[in-house]
Amino acid sequence: MRAGVLLSWALALCPAAASAQAIDLPAPARQALSDAWWTGPMLTNSAATLPHGHALIETYVYDVHSARADSIGSLTYMLYGVTDALTLGLKPSFGFNAVKGARDSSGVGFGDLTLQAQYRLTSFDAARGIPALAISIQETMPTGRYDRLGARPADGIGGGAWGTTVALYAQHYFWLPNGRILRGRINVSETFSGKAPLHDVSVYGTGEGFRGAARPGRSFYLGGSLEYSVTKRWVLGLDSTWSHNGATRVSGLGMPDPVTGVAPPVRLEYGPSDAFALAPAIEYSWTPNLGVLLAARFIPKGHNVAPSVTPAVAINAVF
């Protein structure tokens, strides 16, 4: 009996024995990539391209809620795999503004339209630790109303200027100690805008009789996301982003004086802004090619940025 007790204590105190017992424990099974279904997070784009001949449609419906207004809108990704490495598409948008203390939009309006091309540089390679990388070029067309707004400034849902965005996307998969997959993404982009010709009341704060132009500043965007595969169908996601918008300058002539007929010069400038955002999300997929996203973006008060909360829902389908 005494010998048995001494042997038990010796095993408990012996590091070698403890290590041996730990080594004997089976490691958690590593989750297969095919066993994880994703819809993607709210804000950070994928570096993957669509296989040749396949299409993706993903529609977001959201409400940008702030102290002054609710901007309800939709944005739809309509993409097609031209080749395995090249995806082309467009992103139409619609919007409606409900403004506190002022007149709402007269109806749902068509916003700016974005054309997109994405080219895959590398594919994800787990064995070699190579992430998926892609470059993207987007061109925003000023198709939404932005000036000649009359007594309803809330009808303005466009920017009025052509804009070119150049972006680099990265995506990688990590296996956690419990065997589950953590997917990470990084987006870096910069947008260059042209001039927006302005007439009368506009989204840039001009009034009736104004004639001139606005020049939006350059915009820089840095975003990242993490998605954790809880089960095959359920995923938890989190986006974190930071954006910097350069100063926007407006110049032109105001309403001519009724007596002299002289139009006074008008100069407006909206200083640069910096915005930080977090967007937690829940993803659920019925099949590998059909899923839904429930998310909310939180922007705290920042440099020339008002706080806002944007709940959103999206349906993602690949054909």
The yes-or-no verdict on residue 189 having pLDDT over 60 is: yes
Q: What SS3 state is found at 299?
A: strand
Q: What pLDDT, in 10s, does the model give residues 146-186?
A: 999 999 999 999 999 999 999 999 999 999 999 999 999 99
Residue 23: what pLDDT? Answer: 54
Check if the beta carbon of residue 179 is closer than 8 Å to that of residue 130. Answer: no
Check if the beta carbon of residue 284 is closer than 8 Å to that of residue 291. Answer: yes
Among 49, 115, 59, residue whose Cα is nearest residue 82:
49
Among 94, 199, 112, 109, residue whose Cα is nearest residue 155:
109
Which is it for the CA torsion 256, 260, 262, 266, positive or negative? negative
In one-letter notation, the amino acid at residue 29 is: A
CA distance 293 to 67: 26
CA distance 153 to 155: 5
Q: Identify the residue with better confidence: 8 or 225.
A: 225
CA distance 20 to 101: 72
